[in-house]
Each structure stands twice: as structure tokens, then as C-alpha cells.
A and B are shown apart, each in its own frame.
Chain A
Amino acid sequence: MTPLLQVENVGKFYGTRIGCADVSFDLYPGEVMGIVGESGSGKSTLLNCLAGHLAPDCGAVRFDMRVGGLSDTVTMSEPERRMLARTDWAFVHQHARDGLRMNVSAGGNVGERLMAVNARHYGEIRDKAIDWLGRVEISEDRIDDRPTAFSGGMQQRLQIARNLVTGPRLVFMDEPTGGLDVSVQARLLDLLRGLVREMGLSAIIVTHDLAVVRLLADRLMVMKDGHVIETGLTDQVLDDPQHAYTQLLVSSVLQV
């Protein structure tokens, strides 16, 4: 089977400081990978390098294109990368306002991504927007409200609807449940898990919440000081951590 994403020796340096270095992995269709580590460990830098928001200083990020197979997204042309970003890729930001247009209606936010892939029929776009708002549990009568009138949890769900409406194959998520209260978090996790299963999505989730990765991710990558120090099956890394830092991380979680 061809991997959906093939990452080889990706590195990003800020002057002499290491953002992330020597990162390699393969992600297969339908797999969800979690990246954990403390703040400053390079996990967001890595995610941004993979998603094309930052240009890595070395290495290759190959994506299995619908036409042409594995292609290096680092060296491909800007228009090609942009096309990927609005069709096969999706990026869910930690703060919903970074991923939404705050002064456009909820329906407009979802419809914009559809229009970017050449949907033009107003009725169809609106129907699809209503369908997706329903899937993320936002009621239809809020379709003309702006995200500024939504709660934090609703904004986050709207951002997910906006991202998934075009049927992407790979979703990047940066702390998707960060800053939400726990009941909203649970609802969002349930939603994400259902979507991953039904749509056969692959996802890369950056978080510092080990409970989130245990429930969502098949595989886990632990980062420290810009380097990957441990990888494996999620439950194996959490239940039988090998590296000193991972052991510290796992044993530091407060029991509820």
C-alpha cells in the first residue's frame, strides 16, 4: 500500500536554534497520528512544515496525489500547493478565529471552501452548508449568523465543518480541543472520531493532552527539543513508555 504522506528527514531551524530536526514517518490512509510534547518541543513547527505553512530547511514531504502519485509538496509550485490546501488537505487551527472568517456568516464560511473548488449553484452550496452544520451539531437557523455570535465550542465545530466540506483526505489539527471546556471537548472528540471512521480520513493531531490522543490517535509520536524521541502504537507508548521523557510525561498526568 502507498502511504498517503511520506515524511523524510524534515528539519526547520530558526537561526542556530532547532525548530524540529530529522523527522521521518509514513502515514497510511485512514490512520490518525498524534504528536505530543511540551510547549516548545517543535510539534507545531513540524505540523506547519507538513501542511505547507512553513518551508522546511531540509527534507521532503511527499503526498500521494490523486493524479501523479507521491509528489514532494516542499518543491512543488505555489499554485499546486494552494490547490492541495483547499481540496485534499484541511487545517484545523487551535483558535477557531484563525481558521474562520469572523465577519462572514456561518453558511458563508462553509460555502467559501466549496466555491474555491468551483461550486457555483447557490442552492446546492446552501444545502451542503446546512447538511454540514447539522453534522457538527449547529442548528440550521444559525446559518446566517456570524461566528462572532457563536460560543468557542461552536466556532470550533464550525471550523471543522468548513474544513471537511470538500471531503479532504488529510486533516492537520493543532490542539483542536485546546481551550474548550471538558463537556464540549468530549462532544468534539466523539464528532471527530465518527468523521474519521465514516469518511476514511487520515489525520495528524498535535496536542499536549494525552487523554485526547488515547481516544483519537492510532499512532503516537513524542517530541522533545525538536527531535522525535519515541514513536509507536498509541496505547503501547502510553502504557509502556521507553524514553525517560515519555515516562515523565505519562506519569505526570493527573488522575481524575
Chain B
Amino acid sequence: MIHVENVTKSFTLHNQGAAVIPVMAGASLDVKAGECVALVGASGAGKSTLMRMIYGNYLTASGKIMVGDVDVATAAPREIIALRRRTLGYVSQFLRVVPRVSTLDVVAEPLLATGTPREEALEQAQALLARLNIPERLWALSPTTFSGGEQQRVNIARGFAFPYPAMLLDEPTASLDPTNRATVLAMITEAKARGAAIIGIFHDHAARDGICDRQLDVTQFTPSLAA
């Protein structure tokens, strides 16, 4: 489902003496449907960078990133938009929303964007929020005022609302209490069972060992360390 082949990436900081920082070289990775692969490596090794390149959030200098039949490295913006709408989900570490939009609408949005009727989308959003223990009295409020853990659970509910065939999870269990952590792990396991290809970053080792089929150390792709 996800096939990364020999990708490289460097940042050029034009306003800081045009410093060129190579951050990724020769990265390759394969994730099949129903498989979960964990990216590991020290902080700064490039786990999030690789994930963002797969999501099309960072440009790729060379190489190939196939998600389904789209090459993210060379795709036009509208192809990536379509890919993100129906194929590739991403649960980031931080929730970013329009102020004043209710939590329920935030969670239902990926469903509405793919043409689910409003009633049905809201029902599913309610079920997800209930499952992740967000109290019902908060559903009509904007998540911008929620606590860190609550925001993260809203983010997860939103990320799991649509059954994407490929998913990227950036620390989905950080800052969660044990009950919610178990719920999130169960949701990831269910996503695997329905055939989603998942790439995750977990600092929570027990969680990682529990649900991931393989680990990939990204340090081997870090040019400054390898050299």
C-alpha cells in the first residue's frame, strides 16, 4: 500500500547563511495492507520528517513515495488533496482547527468531505467521541479550549472517522491515561484488521511492541549521522 523508495531530502535555510542541512538519504520502506510499521530512532533522526514527506507536507528532493497508485513525491497539489481525502489519513501530534467550530463538527468533517450524509456523519462522530470518553457536554464546544489529552483524543476521533486504507500516526498514545490508551490501541488494531496500512511513531514502547509488526530504524537514513 505504501512504498517508499530511495528518497532524499534536505533543508536550505536561505535566511541563515543559505545553510544546507541534509536530513534524509536513501530512505526505503514498504508497508502492506493490514500491516503496522513503527518508525524508531533518537529524537531528530527524522521520524516525523519521513512521515511528513509521505503525507506530502514536506517536499521530497528525489526518490519515489507511492501511496496506492499516487506518487506523492511528484503529484500535483490536487492529486494529493484527493489522496488525503479518501486514502491517506494522518493523526498529528497537535490539533489544528477553525476557532468556534464544535467538536462534533470537527470530528464529522472528514466524513462530510467524502459525501456522507450529515445525520449519519454526526452519529458516527458521536459514537467515536463517546468511545474516547469525551464527555457529552463538551461536544457542542470548540476543542480549542480543551485540555491537552482531550484535544489529542478529539484529534484521534477525527483521524479515525473515515476508514482510510493508509494511515500515519504521530505519537497517538502520548499524554493519554491508561483507559484511553487502551481504547486507542484497540482502534489501531481494528484499523489493521480491516486492512489499513499503518506507519506509526510511538515513544510508548509497550504500545509499540503490542501492535506493530515491524520496526524501522530511521537513523540509517540520516546522512549526518551515517557519514
A214 to B58, CA, bound (A): 15
A219 to B78, CA, bound (A): 8
Query: Which A residues from 210 to 231 make CB contacts under 8 A with B?
Result: 214-215, 218-219, 231
Number of interface residues of B (CB under 8 A): 21
Query: Which A residues from 237 to 254 make CB contacts under 8 A with B?
Result: 239-240, 242-244, 247-248, 251
Q: B163-174 toward A: CB 8 Å interface, digit per residue (1/0)?
A: 000000000000
A189 to B142, CA, bound (A): 14
Among listed B31-39, B93-101, B202-210, interface-contacting one: B93-101
A189 to B99, CA, bound (A): 9
How many A-B pairs with Cβ below 8 Å? 57
Check A88 for interface membership: any CB of B closer than 8 A. Answer: no
Check B89 for interface membership: any CB of A closer than 8 A. Answer: no
- Known contacts A31-B78, A247-B13; decide if A186 and B59 are in contact (CB<8 Å): no
Is B15 a contact of A232 with CB atoms below 8 Å? Answer: no
Is A242 a contact of B112 with CB atoms below 8 Å? Answer: no
A244 to B112, CA, bound (A): 38
Residues from chain A with Cβ under 8 Å of B113 in the complex? 197
Min distance, Cβ B161 to any Cβ of chain A, angstroms: 15
Is A190 a contact of B98 with CB atoms below 8 Å? Answer: yes
Q: B96-137 toward A: CB 8 Å interface, digit per residue (1/0)?
A: 101111000000000011000000000000000000000000
- Known contacts A239-B52, A243-B14, A247-B13; decide if A190 and B58 are in contact (CB<8 Å): no
Which B residue's beta carbon lies closest to that of A236? B57
The residue that A240 contacts in the complex, of B58, B81, B99, with Cβ under 8 A, is B58
Check B56 for interface membership: any CB of A closer than 8 A. Answer: yes
The residue that B99 contacts in the complex, of A186, A233, A235, with Cβ under 8 A, is A186
A187 to B99, CA, bound (A): 8
A-B contacts, 21 of them at CB < 8 A, read A31-B81, A186-B98, A186-B99, A186-B100, A187-B100, A190-B101, A193-B98, A197-B112, A218-B81, A219-B78, A231-B77, A232-B77, A233-B56, A233-B57, A233-B80, A233-B81, A235-B57, A236-B56, A236-B58, A239-B57, A247-B14
Chain B: residues with CB nearer than 8 A to chain A? 11-15, 52, 56-59, 77-78, 80-81, 96, 98-101, 112-113
